Structure formats: C-alpha cells, structure tokens
C-alpha cells in the first residue's frame, strides 16, 4: 500500500475561532486524530493533501440552505489553523464536494504512485463520502477513517460509517479506525 | 422546474430472469414506480435517461468483492427488459457509480435546458447517491425518489434516505416520493 | 512502448458512399494505411479504438457552419464500412473533438497498461490534434501518424504536421510516418 | 456576446526578468495588447482570468525536452509582473495545456453567464489553441486574438492563425484582432 492522506474541508470557516455551526465541535474534536495521521503519513513518505472548498460568491451551491462560506481567496477557505502543516503538503481547492471533482488530484496521486486515498475530515455524509467514492471511481483504494471524520450530528456520522462498512466495493472502499489503519500499514 | 428522469443501473445483470443477488427483489419491486415516472416524465416532454454500468473485463472495480458483471457490450449491461423504453430515451453507459463520471451527461442535460435530475434506480447508497451528489456538483437540482430507488437491504435504503432528507444542500438535493414530486411539478 | 491505435472520426457520415465533403477523398485515401496500422497493432496485442463523433440534434456544435452530422445512434455516426474491425476493438462515442473529452478513454488505456496513443484519422487540425494533445495531458505519449491522418486540404494537413514536429513537448508528442513507427516499435 | 478574457500562460517563468527562452521576446511584445484587452474587458464588466501552468516536480510533462518550469507554488508560476491585474481577476492554476483541463473554469464561466472565451497569451500552437478548442467543446464561443497571442516563432504563430481562421467550427471559433473584437462587441 502507498497511501495519501486527504484531509477534507477542515477549514477556518467551519472550525476557526468564533465559528459555531452544528459541525464545529465535532470537527474540532477530530483535529488531534487528523494531526496524528498526518504525522504518521509524512513519516512514511506519504503525501498529505488538504482538499478545501473554494466556492465563488453567487455559486449555485448557495441557492439552498447553505449560507455563503469558504469563498475562494478568503481566510475562511484556508485549512484550519489548528492543523499541522508542512511545506510539502498539497492544498487542492475544490469547487464541490469531492476532492476529485474538476481538480487534477487523480493525476497528482497517480504521478506520486499512490494507490490508496486515506480520507479524513468533514462532513462524513457529503464531502468525505463523495471523495472516497470518487477515489474508487479513479481506480484508487479508499479508506474512510472512522475516528478522523465527523458530521454535524454523531448519529449521521455513525449511520454513514455503518452503511459503507460492508458494500460490494469492499475492500476497495473500507471504513477503518486510525489505529487499524496504522497497524495494517506497518 | 424542467426535469430529466435518470434511471440508474436498472440492468439485466441485476434484475433479469434468473438473477438472484441481494438487490434483485428490491430492484424489481420498484420497476412499476420507475415505469410510471417515465410515463409521466415523457408526457411532460422531459427526457428519460438510462445510466448503465458499463465495465470492462479486468476493471479495477472487480478487484474487491464484486464479481464481473455489467460488462460493456454484453446483454447484461442493457436496461432491464421490464422497463418501458421509448426511442427518444437516452442510454448513457457509465464507467463508475455516478452517471456523470467521465460522461457527457452534464452537457446533455444543460443543452436540453434541464435544471433538475430526478434520480431513481439502484443502489441507493452508491450509484443513486453518487449520481444525485454529482448532479448538484454540476449545478443541477437533484431529487432522489424514495419509492423508486432500492438497495440490497431495506434498512440501508431507509438509512440513506434518512441521511439526505435534511442536509445543508436542501433543497438543491431532496428526497421525495414519486407522488410528492408529481404533485409539486403539476 | 505499449501503444493503442486511436482511429479518430473515420465515420460513415464523412467517408461513406455518396458523401462528398471536402475531406471525403482525403479521408478515404488513408483508409489502407489505417487498416494496415490496425492489423499491425492487433498483431502485437495492442488495442484498437474507434473514437467517433456522437453529437445530439440541436448540439451547440451545429450553431456555426457545421451541418448536423454524426448524430448519436444513426448509421452515419458508425465507423466507416471500409475500415477493418475486430470484435475486441473498442468504440468510444465522443461529444466533441478530443477522444478524451468527457469519455473514460484515459482510464481504459491506463487499465490496459497503454503508454502511447497512436493517433490516426481525421481531421488533422481539429479532432486528431485535440486527441493527441489531450493524450499528453493525460500522461500518455502521443504519436500523430503523418500518412494515416488527413484534413480537408492537403495544405492544412501539412501545416499541422509541420507545426507539431518540433515543440517543447517532443518526444512526448511526435509526428511519425506509419513506417517509422513500425520500425521503432519492432 | 458576454465574454471573458482568458490570459494563457503569461508567466514569470516565460516572460520575467532574466528569462530568455525562444518565446520570451514574442510573449513580452504582446503584453501591451493583453493589458489593453484586460482594461477594455473590465470596463464592460467582463471577467479576466489568468490561466497559469502549475506543474509538479517530476511531472510527466518534463519527461521530454521541456525543462522543469512553472512549478506550483513558485514565483515563476505567477502571472508576469508586467500584466495589469485587479483584485477581482481570477487566477486558474492548470495542470496541462488547456485552461479547462481538470479545472472548474467551464463551470465558473457558465455561472458568470459568459458565452465567449476571448483567448490570448502563449503559446499559440499549444496552450492557446487547446484552450480555444476546449472552450468550444464546453459550448462556449471562442476567439483567438491574433495580436494578443504569440509563439516561439512568428512563423508558427502565423501558421496556427491561418489554420483556424476558416474551419467547420467558424464562427464558434474565430481568429480576430483585438481591434476587430472591440469593434464588433461595441
């Protein structure tokens, strides 16, 4: 296995000081686990990718309940300050849910000989899941890290993990804890 | 609203005579509802699209639990014979889960002035959901039709519907019954 | 090198009986060379792909000078009858110029361990060139086969070949005769 | 017509102080015309987009003659300092030739109600042309601005302009001078 850690939407606008949406506490709670995974991945020479919502004002995505946020070029669209970052990490601005949607991430991971996308971040039912499914669509194995992902409600988070633990895509798509992942990859 | 009915993976290999996978009975059970929706959509001048898995032998997707199926050019990859079809319907072979992944469906729907993808078919947690999320990614509204979609287990089906009934994407992404949809669109 | 022969837009609507557009005679003239290349490629176990315009009525592409042609599902959008085909050949309908635009051809060629797209067909300045450039964009080497490609005028054909013989992309993108290609690949 | 000015690859690494590749003088020579077009476009409320090569070290593109350049995150991959820029301009990093390849530019231009991509920059036979062809592929009209584009040799530049002045894509794809464009759009 050669993995890449893909940290999805752990952004200032969701997790930063003063923010208080439903997902904020749950997203902050996984920061230590995400940082540990990043440390572990870099130690193995595996890339760390921050995939970050990068919307435009007036974007279609804001025609529903979602209030304008994560606007391209604003500080709110930057990775959360509590995340450990290194100069070699890659930041991939994304227009929609999946880190692969209209980005070159598939090509980047292939050129780095990555065969497994290790997906963490928020939110489990939308951007995390869309990224994991798209990873498999791009012929990469995908791991959703159970304790390094979060949703606006713990029930929704648990429901998603339950749904994708055992599908016809197993083991191309897997749900694992950070510990299970580290033990297997050793 | 100008919709297109997108019928996902209602294929001979899953639903045809002699097939007996876990999803077969649940997929067959929604055929009448899918056919009614197709009749209703065509009557309004809305397009009907059959998005069909079209894998290649040796495809990455078969390196997990999934046995080779829905192979491009084989009868098993054709829309299920029990579905009503019209010559104007569009068949979109797809390589992965989403009907939009590496296809021109987004462009086709735009050129037809469609603003809403009405997604039915199987399975709810994978190809149906991936198609609905990608529709929103492509600036289309999406409706997952609760009683015209199915999964290998009724519990998984219900769990997915529950998860996406109320997300920050509402009402760009909605879960509705066929009846609710028809009443609203009238 | 492991190549795939990509035959671009050698369609009934351009080359078939009774057709007489400017490109018709030039396209027909390369049929023997394309057939020889196909024979040679298959003999080496290399795939042969027919990438075929597959437009929809009312398509944007017809808002200019181009008259409706190569319509999806019509006999005119089929590979020209004078081409030798085998059951294992792949037909890739395409919505626009490049054989890679909104198709899964990149993924197919990768899954077949192809590293070089050998591009022939018509027309040199548009669909052939767009396919060759997109091949390189997808991390494949590309060869434009000088005597197996054609344009509406021999001058335009020669001008394109001249332009791309020596670019910063060399030798990722090359212009070669069929003979040069066969000699090198032996 | 509602246009967007797409400035292709006018980067520090090609045009900046101390650079001296074959294209450097020709690229610098069009800077005034590009700046004038930008001024004119902004004055009409049309967006200005800088589409910029953004390669990774070890990228496939460097396995040919091309020496590493325009590396993501380096000053050399920034728009040339001689270009007039405004805070509202959009910078689109791109992985390959076309400004649309694995980017969300198509979606951005649509969300801005743009129907015409006005393409300028370098080099005419590769990134400019690929961008213009892809614009038409995405159902946008495209204008290659003759006197605001350049190649490593004036002959190659002129040859490309000659080839695409009159194709079946006319007038979806056009070659015009900046003056012709401004007169028509008035």
Q: Delineate the domains of chain A, giving CATH numbers in brackets.
A: 3-185 (3.40.50.850)
CB of A91 less than 8 A from some CB of B: no
In chain C, residues with a C-beta closer than 8 Å to the C-beta of A107 are: 138-139
> Cβ atoms within 10 A of the Cβ of A65, count?
12
Q: Which of D58, D95, D111 sits opposite A104 (nearest CB)?
A: D95
| pLDDT digits 0-9 by tens, B46-94 | 999 999 999 999 999 999 999 999 999 999 999 999 999 999 999 999 9
- Residues 6 or more apart whose Cβ sits within 8 Å of residue D66: C168, C169
What per-residue confidence (pLDDT) applies to A8?
98
pLDDT at position A127 is 98
pLDDT at A186 over 90: no
Neighboring chain C residues of D22 at a CB cutoff of 8 Å: none
CB contact at 8 A, D115 and D141 = yes
Q: What is the pLDDT of residues B111-128, one digit of tens each?
A: 999 999 999 999 999 999
Two tokens, residue D123: 């080099």
Candidate from D107, D138, D139 with C-beta closest to B139: D107
Under a CB-based contact definition with an 8 Å cutoff, are residues D150 and D30 in contact? yes
CB atoms C64 and D171 under 8 Å = yes
Q: What is the pLDDT of residue A154?
A: 98
When pLDDT is cut at 50, 70 and 90, the band that residue C186 belongs to is confident
Nearest 5°: phi and psi at D183?
Answer: -65, -40
Closest in A63, A137, A168 to B66, CB measured: A168
B113 interface with D at CB cutoff 8 Å: no
Q: Which of D102, D112, D138 to mutate to test the interface with A (most CBs of A within 10 A)?
A: D102
The pLDDT tens digits of the residues spanning B91-108 come to 999 999 999 999 999 999
- Residues D120-169: pLDDT tens digits? 999 999 999 999 999 999 999 999 999 999 999 999 999 999 999 999 99
pLDDT tens per residue, range C37-46: 999 999 999 9
In this predicted model, what pLDDT tens digit does every residue of C45-102 receive, in sequence order?
999 999 999 999 999 999 999 999 999 999 999 999 999 999 999 999 999 999 999 9
Helix pair angle (B154-164, B129-137), 10° resolution: 20
CB D34, CB D120: distance < 8 Å: yes
CA distance D78 to chain C (A): 20
Asked if the C-beta of D44 comes within 8 angstroms of chain B's C-beta atoms, the answer is no
pLDDT tens-digit map of A34-64: 999 999 999 999 999 999 999 999 999 999 9
Per-residue pLDDT tens digits for C2-12: 999 999 999 99
Cross-chain residue pair D56–A111, CB shorter than 8 Å: yes
Which of C137, C164, C168 is facing D96, going by the closest CB pair?
C137
CB A103 within 8 A of CB A132: no
Q: What does pLDDT average to over chain C? A: 97
pLDDT computed for residue C61 by the predictor: 97
Contact A126 B169 (CB under 8 A): yes
Give yes or no for residue D172 having a pLDDT over 80: yes
Q: What's the 3-state SS for chain B?
A: CCEEEEEECCEHHHHCCCCCCCCHHHHHHCHHHHHHHHHHHHHCCCCEEEEEECECCCCHHHHCCCCCCCECCCHHHCECCCCCCCCCCEEEEECCCCCCCCCCHHHHHHHCCCCEEEEEEECHHHHHHHHHHHHHHCCCEEEEEEEEEECCCHHHHHHHHHHHCCCCCCCCEEEECHHHHHHHHC
Non-local (6+) Cβ contacts of B51 within 8 A are B6, B7, B8, B9, B92, B94, B99, B103, B105, B121, B127, B131
The answer, yes or no, to whether residue B186 has pLDDT greater than 80, is: no
The CA distance from A134 to B101, in Å, is 9
- Token digits of residue B45: 């001048």
**pLDDT tens for residues D90-122?**
999 999 999 999 999 999 999 999 999 999 999
ipTM of the complex: 0.97
Mutation to test the D interface, candidates B102, B107, B108, most D Cβ within 10 Å = B107
Q: Which of B58, B102, B109 to mutate to test the interface with C (most CBs of C within 10 A)?
A: B102
Average pLDDT for residues C140-163, to the nearest whole number? 98
Instruction: Give pLDDT tens digits for B16-41.
Output: 999 999 999 999 999 999 999 999 99
Average pLDDT, chain A: 97
Mean pLDDT to the nearest integer, B168-180? 97
In this structure, what are the phi and psi dihedrals at residue D2, rounded to the nearest 5 degrees? -130, 115
Q: Which residues, listed in sequence order, are joined to residue B6 by a DSSP beta bridge? A: B49, B119
Q: Report whether D109 contacts D75 (CB < 8 A).
A: no
**Each residue's pLDDT tens digit, C104-132:** 999 999 999 999 999 999 999 999 999 99
How many residue pairs from chains C and D have C-beta atoms closer than 8 A?
Answer: 87
Does residue C131 sit in helix, strand or coil? Answer: helix
């Amino acid at each position: 296995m050669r993995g890449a850690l893909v940290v999805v939407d752990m952004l200032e606008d969701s997790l930063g000081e003063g923010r208080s949406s439903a997902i904020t506490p749950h997203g902050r709670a996984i920061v230590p686990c995400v940082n540990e995974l990043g440390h572990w991945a870099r130690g193995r020479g595996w890339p760390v990718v921050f995939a970050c919502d990068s919307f435009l004002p007036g974007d279609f995505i804001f025609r529903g309940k979602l209030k304008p946020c994560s606007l391209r070029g604003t500080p709110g669209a930057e990775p959360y300050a509590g995340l450990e970052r290194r100069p070699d990490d890659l930041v991939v601005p994304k227009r929609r849910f999946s880190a692969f949607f209209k980005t070159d991430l598939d090509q980047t991971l292939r050129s780095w000989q990555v065969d497994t996308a290790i997906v963490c971040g928020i939110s489990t039912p939308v951007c995390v899941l869309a990224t994991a499914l798209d990873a498999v669509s791009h012929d990469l194995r995908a791991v959703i890290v159970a304790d390094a992902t979060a949703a606006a409600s713990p029930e929704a988070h648990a429901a998603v993990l339950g749904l994708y633990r055992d599908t016809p895509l197993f083991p191309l798509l897997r749900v694992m804890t950070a510990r299970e992942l580290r033990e297997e990859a050793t």
